[in-house]
C-alpha cells in the first residue's frame, strides 16, 4: 500500500515563492493533500533564460533564508524537498519542467497514488463546495484536468494572503486562454508534452464544479493580458473569503 493518496509536485525558485509557501501548505493540507514534493530550481537560467526576473517581468528579490528554514521546520513531515539542478553543456542550471516532472514521477510513483502538478500561485477550488477526495475516488480516467480562473497577480496584490485577493477576470477561462492543470495517477503516467498537457485519457472538469484560482493577472509588463484581444471583464470574486481564518495563526 502506498504512503499517500493525494500529493502535490512543483518546480520553483525559492526567492520568487518563499513568502507565499506557508499559506499554500495550509490551504492544501486543509483540502486533503498529504504530501508535497518541492523541487527547488534556484540558480536556474529560468523559463526565459533570465535569473533576475520572473516570466511576468517582476524582479526576483533575495529573501532571508530563515523564512524557508522556519517553514520547513514547521511542516517538514509533509515535505520532500529536492534541490533540482540539472545543467546544460555550458554548466548552467537549466529550467526543464517536462523533464523535472518526468524525473519526479519515475522517482516517487511508488509513494503516492495521485499528484497535482502545479505552482505556488495556483489553488484548486470548488464553487459548489464539493469534496476533492470524493471527486478523485469517483473518477475512472488517469488524468483529471482543471481550467483556471485568473486573479490579480500576487506581485500586484496588497493583501497579506494571496487567496484573499478577490480582483479577477470574470469572462476569460483557460478554455480560451490556455493553461489548464491536472491531477494525475502516477502509476498510469504515460508522459507529457507540457505541464498543461498530460498524455492519457482525461476527465475535464466543468468550471462550475471545479477550477484552480491562478494569481497571475497583470495588465502591463511581460505576459500581460491584452484587453483588446481577449475582451475581458474585471470583477470581484470573494468566494475564497471563507478560508481567511485558516491563515490567522501564521
pLDDT in tens, 216-241: 887 655 555 655 556 677 899 999 99
pLDDT range class, residue 181, cuts 50, 70, 90? very high
Q: Is the model's pLDDT at 169 over the cut of 80?
A: yes
Say whether 35 sits in a helix, a strand or coil: strand
| 169, 225 contact by CB (below 8 A) | yes
- Indicate if the alpha-carbon torsion angle 199, 207, 205, 131 is positive or negative: positive
- Identify the pLDDT of residue 230: 60
Q: What is the pTM of this model?
A: 0.93
Q: Is 73 exposed, middle or buried (0-12, 13-18, 19+ CB in 10 A)?
A: exposed
| Alpha carbons 105 and 208: distance in angstroms, whole number | 30
Spatial separation of the C-alpha atoms in residues 133 and 107, rounded to whole Å: 24
Q: Are 123 and 213 in contact (CB under 8 A)?
A: yes
pLDDT tens column, 92-106: 888 889 999 999 999
Say whether pLDDT at 174 is over 70. no
Alpha-carbon distance 191 to 38, whole Å?
20
Q: How confident is the model at residue 211, as a pLDDT?
A: 94
- In sequence order, the 6+-apart residues with CB closer than 8 A to the CB of 114 are 5, 6, 7, 136, 183, 184, 185, 186
- Residue length, the chain? 250
> What are the tens digits of pLDDT across the range 112-162?
999 999 999 999 999 999 999 999 999 999 999 999 998 999 999 999 999
So what's the pLDDT on residue 59? 80
Q: What percentage of the chain carries pLDDT values higher than 70?
A: 88
What gap in Å lies between CA 35 and CA 33, rounded to an integer?
6
> What pLDDT, on a 0 to 100 scale, did the predictor assign at position 88?
87
Which three three-digit cell numbers place residue 123? 489553488
- Whether 171 has a pLDDT exceeding 70, the answer reads no
The phi, psi pair for 167, rounded to 5°, reads -70, 130
**What domains sit in the chain, N to C, each tagged with a CATH number?**
4-247 (3.90.550)
Q: What's the pLDDT at 114?
A: 98
The per-residue pLDDT of the chain, averaged, comes to 89
pLDDT tens sequence across 40-72: 999 887 655 567 777 777 888 899 999 999 999
CA 109, 112, 117 angle in degrees (round to 5)? 80
Amino acid at each position: 500500500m502506498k504512503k499517500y493518496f493525494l500529493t502535490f509536485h512543483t518546480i520553483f525558485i525559492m526567492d520568487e515563492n518563499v513568502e507565499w509557501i506557508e499559506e499554500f501548505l495550509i490551504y492544501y493540507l486543509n483540502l486533503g493533500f498529504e504530501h508535497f514534493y518541492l523541487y527547488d530550481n534556484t540558480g536556474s537560467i529560468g523559463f526565459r533564460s533570465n535569473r533576475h526576473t520572473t516570466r511576468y517581468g517582476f524582479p526576483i528579490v533575495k529573501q532571508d533564508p530563515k523564512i524557508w528554514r522556519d517553514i520547513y521546520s514547521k511542516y517538514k513531515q509533509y515535505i520532500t524537498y529536492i534541490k533540482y539542478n540539472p545543467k546544460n553543456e555550458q554548466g548552467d542550471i537549466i529550467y526543464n519542467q517536462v523533464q523535472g516532472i518526468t524525473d519526479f514521477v519515475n522517482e516517487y510513483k511508488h509513494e503516492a497514488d495521485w499528484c497535482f502538478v502545479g505552482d505556488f500561485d495556483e489553488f484548486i477550488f470548488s464553487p459548489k463546495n464539493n469534496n476533492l477526495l470524493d471527486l478523485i475516488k469517483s473518477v475512472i480516467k488517469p488524468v483529471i484536468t482543471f481550467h483556471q480562473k485568473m486573479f490579480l497577480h500576487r506581485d500586484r496584490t496588497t493583501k497579506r494572503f494571496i487567496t484573499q485577493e478577490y480582483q479577477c477576470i470574470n469572462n476569460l477561462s483557460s478554455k480560451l486562454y490556455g493553461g489548464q492543470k491536472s491531477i494525475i495517477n502516477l502509476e498510469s503516467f504515460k508522459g507529457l508534452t507540457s505541464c498543461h498537457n498530460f498524455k492519457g485519457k482525461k476527465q475535464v472538469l466543468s468550471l462550475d464544479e471545479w477550477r484552480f484560482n491562478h494569481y497571475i493577472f497583470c495588465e502591463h509588463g511581460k505576459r500581460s493580458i491584452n484587453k483588446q484581444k481577449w475582451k475581458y471583464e474585471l470583477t470581484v470574486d470573494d468566494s475564497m473569503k471563507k478560508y481567511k481564518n485558516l491563515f490567522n495563526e501564521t
